[in-house]
Amino acid sequence: MAETLRYRDDQPVDHPAVTVDAFVDQSNAQAVRIEPGDDTRELLPHLQRLALVEVNFPAFGDGRGYSSARMLREAGYEGELRAVGDVLVDQLAYMRRCGFDAFEPDQQFDMDDVKAAFERWPEVYQNAADDRTPIWTKRHP
């Protein structure tokens, strides 16, 4: 496993991430790992006790994790949202827009590529889970 990139000011959570089923059952769990086939909405009643959500990407082409992330942010989740697994540098910008603020890729990133990825887009077309202002707001302030 490569180095984790983290874009938060707070301390990383030290709890092991359990499955969605286990998390819902265990009232003292604070960290969960979402698999692509899980229903993220099962977590929504429990957001107050969640400090870390890992979203697993077993294959980078399986984009379900992007919806999971965005739905959690829409529901008000403010803890760490970490993309783990087959995460490529070329996905970082979109992942960030979907609300991910930490990345634990299988393969080490080249940090120059990471910087380029995050600085790539001067504008954005959509309102998403980050705080970027969409172009349509700039057009109609």
C-alpha distances out from residue 8 to 11, 26, 135, Å: 8, 26, 26
Q: Which of 20, 32, 83, 128 binds another protein (CB under 8 A)?
A: 128
Q: Which of 14, 27, 45, 61 binds another protein (CB under 8 A)?
A: 61
Our finding on whether 76 is near another protein (CB under 8 A) is no
Rounded to whole angstroms, the Cα distance separating 91 from 108 reads 14
Q: To the nearest whole angstrom, how small is the minimum distance from the Cβ of residue 46 to another protein?
A: 18
Our finding on whether 118 is near another protein (CB under 8 A) is no
Binding string to another protein for residues 83 to 112, with x set by CB under 8 A, is what? -----x-xx-xxx-xx-----------x--
Q: Check: CB of residue 4 under 8 Å from CB of residue 102.
A: yes
Beta-strand relationship, 80-85 and 52-57: parallel
Our finding on whether 115 is near another protein (CB under 8 A) is no
**DSSP category for residue 99:** T
Residue 82 φ then ψ, to 5°: -115, 125
Q: Check: CB of residue 89 under 8 Å from CB of residue 112.
A: no
Our finding on whether 127 is near another protein (CB under 8 A) is yes
The binding site for another protein (CB under 8 A) comprises 36, 60-64, 66-67, 70, 74, 88, 90-91, 93-95, 97-98, 110, 113, 116, 120-128, 134-136, 138-140
